[in-house]
Amino acid sequence: MKILILVFLVGIYQVTAETHSLKYFVTESSQVPDFPEFVVVGMVDDVQIVHYDGNTTEAVPKQDWMKEVIDDDPEYFKRSTNIFIKEQQTFKDNIEVLKQRFNQTGDVHIYQVMYGCEWDDETDKVNGYRQYGYDGEDFIALDLKTETWIAAEPQAVFTKQKWDNDKARTAYLKYYHTQICPEWLKKYVNYGRSSLMRKDLPSVSLLQKTSSSPVTCHATGFYPDRADLFWRKDGEELYEDVDRGKILPNHDGTFQMSVDLKISSIAPEDWKKYDCVFQLSGVKDDIITKLDKSVIRTNEGNPLIMMIIPIVAAQVVLSVIAVVGFIVYKKRNCKRPPPSVENREVQEEMLPKA
């Protein structure tokens, strides 16, 4: 399929400063078919570094460079495993408490926490966050500036009151997210620098089903996924007559994305005013592809061309669940019942030592 790709590269790219992130996703689920009840995923710069689930009950590295952590700290994954095993029971208890809070029984339910930190490698500025969700809706979150909890649901008010009263733990959480977490993030970035800091520029092509169909600007093979792709006219970004697609993973760990431009109202003499722009985080120069009929690959001559995007897209759901192990369940057409009088407490889980 690479022979179908026409590339336009402009200049020599340069790497600039960027923000790095360390995130943990913890998911407890109830009655989700073919999915572990408890899953923990750790990610650095959106790259998975550690995985644990209730079926295997073992924390395992997901990147080769994470083995350097073991060299420096042989007990790292054993310690993480023990913490996750204890957390598993806490989360199992919590999801039962929440089902009572919302007057629910049975059915599919998901309780999650996302927490972590960000670090700007130029300014050294750090930022932390910690938020909980239930069945795809916000439940409660920590405001690090005020060291208080924000309840997003009436059912979370009791939890907010209990956690707000635990000043010592909240203070520790602030210390964890602004000191401990960033310190580990810097270590991880150093361990995986050659992989995490790499910048892969994409191949960019223009595709079209028929001569009257929208023109698709398709970029594939870029890394990391912090990128943007858009159409512009006379140097100004277009927001009308465009359809922007999502960033999708490729089988080799790189990414792809596309954006469509409706050309039905564009006069032939105005085509030269349009171009497609690809931007990659940390790379100074853009990749600019001119709207030119001579370089457009059409479906009329080769029916396989426009199948490139949907074939890969069809594999995304499986790859996201299999690799990331993190799902957000959004109930459809379901109104929650009024808050329960049940005041059992949602427990705070233990903290993984990054």
Three-state DSSP string of 74-110: CCHHHHHHHHHHHHHHHHHHHHHHHHHHCCCCCCCEE
Structure letter (DSSP) for residue 56: T
Distance CA 180, CA 177 (A): 6
Q: How far are the Cα atoms of 138, 154, 336 from residue 150, in angstroms, in the given order?
A: 10, 11, 20
> What confidence category does residue 214 fall into, taking pLDDT thresholds of 50, 70 and 90?
very high
Sequence letter at residue 89: Q
Q: Please, are residues 31 and 10 in contact by the beta-carbon 8 Å criterion?
A: no
Helix (H, G, I), strand (E, B) or coil at 352: coil
Closest alpha carbon to 235 in 286, 165, 292? 286
Which pLDDT score is estimated for 349? Answer: 53
The domain 19-195 having CATH identifier 3.30.500.10: the answer here is yes
Structure letter (DSSP) for residue 53: E
Over residues 52-68, mean pLDDT? 93
Over residues 71-97, mean pLDDT? 92
pTM for this structure? 0.68
Structure letter (DSSP) for residue 180: I
Upstream peptide bond of 338 is cis (omega within 30 degrees of 0):
no
Distance CA 146, CA 170 (A): 10
Which pLDDT score is estimated for 175? Answer: 95
> What confidence category does residue 305 fall into, taking pLDDT thresholds of 50, 70 and 90?
very low
Q: What is the pLDDT of residues 256-279, one digit of tens each?
A: 999 999 999 899 999 999 999 999
Tokens in use for 42?
């750790």
CATH topology of domain 199-315: Immunoglobulin-like (2.60.40)
Q: What is the pLDDT of residues 25-46, one digit of tens each?
A: 999 999 888 889 999 999 998 8
More confident residue, 191 or 7: 191
| Strand pairing class (297-298; 203-208) | parallel
Distance CA 298, CA 29 (A): 45
Concatenated DSSP letters of 128-141: EEEEEEETTEEEEE
- The fraction of the chain above a pLDDT of 90, given in percent, is 64
Which pLDDT score is estimated for 33? Answer: 87
Backbone φ, ψ for residue 353 (5° rounding) = -80, 60
Helix (H, G, I), strand (E, B) or coil at 344: coil
Q: Where are the domains of the chain?
A: 19-195, 199-315
Q: Which region holds residue 169: left if phi is over 0, alpha if psi is between -120 and 50, else beta?
A: alpha
Q: What is the pLDDT of residues 155-167, one digit of tens each?
A: 999 999 999 999 9
